[in-house]
């Protein structure tokens, strides 16, 4: 079999056999695939697509292209994870993982860093002094045994096919493809050997899926591929036009997550933590129905059980016990990096907030150092925006609607204008969305 023949076959719109797909991935991982050939293969797939069988075979082959995680047999029924397609202010994982652990589940969450306009889950956690994201399998097992959850990065030997493919997708214009996104996400989750998975598929201007139809298509792809790999899976479509919660930026989001773990988080954040947790508790038999699952998750936030698990996770991931305790039960701001400058954002008219542009806010924060444009960029964890208002709220002229936290003494005029324009105020009150949950895909 020759790679060029497989490329030509898919270039001409034909289906690939199981053996041809497996051959491509083996050649890739073994280092025998030229970069130009990989680019051509990706482009052929990008334009001519793949059917459900091809996607399932690609995902499974990527899953087993390297090591897979192994756990004690008694953990198998309670091993779960979640994945978000990415959003602005999305600190759900920091609350959900310990809440699930407090309910008796095991959560080996392999997460990622942000690239583009927003920081990833690992970037948020790395704002905590000492937090270690690179764990061995033995360290992950210890963390799960003690705290019930860990949040760590992908190892070099876990799904190496995805790591190689993504690097090429990033430079060949093939990142934004539902099949590639599906294979990338599900292969990593399947390699964790979890029994149940919940997917948070964001919809809106600050997400991968701009429309509800696009999100449905992606969610159905993801759910189908995950079930093919033996995971009980559901997807929640959630809106991402406005920031989630009241903070954007790594240190700020950690502080808000701590508030959430104390049962004091904003309503929209609590809503998404509760529904995603409920779906996993129901899937694993820990809850008889979704409503009971929601109640169980929210109770762990109110009674301190989730916060206790979070503190244990921090200590197991190299945070000094005194630092972990101060972060969780003392003054969190004293532990985390602080900004050099804080600038108020002020309303120009009175009225009702009808929009807070999540994409614009994230782009400004990212440009000031809260995210990275290149993998080599250094994150400035204190950079971000603290919001003081939500969509639908009444405001008066001159009211401070947010605070920009920044490291540079002077914020570039174009970024300041973009941030000021991120809020839209109407003279009349308008109907706003009550829930961020748009749909559940089963």
Active site (annotated) includes residue 184: yes
Reply yes or no on whether 169 is catalytic.
yes
Catalytic residue among 113, 169, 234, 372: 169
Q: What is the token pair recorded at 419?
A: 């941030």
Distances (CA, A) of 380 to 125, 247, 256, 357, 409: 13, 15, 18, 22, 14
Catalytic residue (one of 82, 188, 234, 312)? 188
Instruction: Please give the DSSP secondary-structure letter assigned to residue 246.
Output: T
Is residue 262 helix, strand or coil?
coil
SS3 239: strand
Active-site residue, selected from the candidate residues 10, 83, 202, 234:
83
Task: Verify whether residue 350 is a known catalytic residue.
Answer: no
Q: Single out the catalytic residue among 65, 84, 184, 187.
A: 184
CA distance 217 to 388: 35
Active site residue 342: no
- DSSP codes of every residue in 53-103: HHHHHHHHHHHTTSB-----GGGGGGBEEEEE---TT--HHHHHHHHHHHT
Indicate left, alpha or beta for 404 from its phi (over 0: left) and psi (-120 to 50: alpha): beta
Q: Which of 90, 123, 162, 200 is catalytic?
A: 162
Are 36 and 7 within 8 A, CB to CB? Answer: no
Task: Give the Å distances, CA to CA, from 24 to 15, 16, 55, 158, 175.
Answer: 14, 10, 13, 18, 19
The partner residues of 151 in beta bridges, in order of sequence, read 109
Distance CA 342, CA 92 (A): 26
- Residues 369 and 204: their CA atoms lie apart, in Å, by 24
What residues are annotated to the active site? 83, 162, 169, 184, 188
């Amino acid at each position: 079999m020759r790679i060029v023949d497989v490329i030509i076959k898919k270039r001409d719109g034909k289906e690939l056999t199981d053996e041809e797909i497996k051959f491509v991935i083996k050649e890739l991982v073994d280092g025998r695939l030229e970069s130009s050939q990989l680019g051509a293969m990706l482009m052929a797939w990008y334009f001519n697509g793949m059917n459900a069988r091809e996607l399932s075979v690609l995902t499974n082959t990527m899953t087993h292209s390297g090591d897979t995680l192994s756990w004690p047999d008694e953990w198998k029924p309670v091993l779960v994870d979640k994945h978000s397609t990415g959003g602005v202010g999305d600190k759900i994982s920091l609350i959900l993982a310990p809440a699930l652990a407090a309910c008796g589940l095991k959560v080996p969450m392999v997460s990622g860093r942000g690239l583009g306009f927003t920081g990833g889950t690992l970037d948020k956690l790395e704002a905590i002094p000492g937090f270690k994201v690179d764990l061995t399998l033995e360290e992950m097992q210890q963390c799960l045994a003690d705290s019930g959850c860990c949040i760590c990065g992908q190892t070099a030997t876990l799904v190496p096919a995805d790591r190689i493919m993504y690097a090429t997708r990033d430079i060949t214009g093939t990142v934004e493809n539902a099949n590639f996104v599906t294979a990338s996400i599900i292969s990593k989750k399947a390699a964790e050997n979890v029994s149940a998975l919940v997917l948070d598929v964001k919809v809106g201007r600050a997400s991968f899926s701009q429309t509800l139809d696009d999100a449905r298509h992606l969610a159905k792809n993801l759910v189908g591929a995950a079930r093919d790999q033996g995971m009980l899976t559901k997807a929640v479509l959630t809106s991402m036009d406005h920031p989630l919660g009241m903070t954007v930026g790594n240190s700020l989001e950690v502080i808000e997550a701590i508030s959430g773990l104390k049962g004091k988080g904003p309503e929209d954040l609590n809503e998404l933590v509760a529904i995603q947790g409920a779906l996993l508790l129901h899937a694993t038999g820990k809850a008889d129905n979704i409503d009971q699952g929601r109640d169980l998750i929210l109770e762990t936030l109110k009674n301190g059980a989730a916060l206790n698990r979070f503190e244990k996770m921090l200590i197991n991931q190299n945070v000094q016990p005194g630092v972990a305790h101060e972060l969780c039960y003392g003054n969190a701001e004293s532990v985390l990096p602080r900004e050099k400058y804080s600038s108020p954002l002020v309303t120009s008219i009175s009225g009702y907030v009808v929009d807070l542009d999540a994409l614009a806010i994230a782009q400004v924060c990212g440009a000031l150092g809260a995210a990275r444009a290149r993998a080599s960029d250094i994150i400035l964890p204190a950079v971000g925006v603290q919001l003081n208002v939500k969509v639908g709220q009444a405001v008066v002229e001159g009211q401070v609607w947010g605070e920009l936290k920044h490291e540079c003494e002077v914020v570039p005029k174009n970024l300041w204008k973009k941030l000021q324009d991120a809020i839209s105020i109407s003279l009349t009150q308008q109907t706003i969305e009550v829930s961020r949950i748009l749909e559940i895909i089963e």
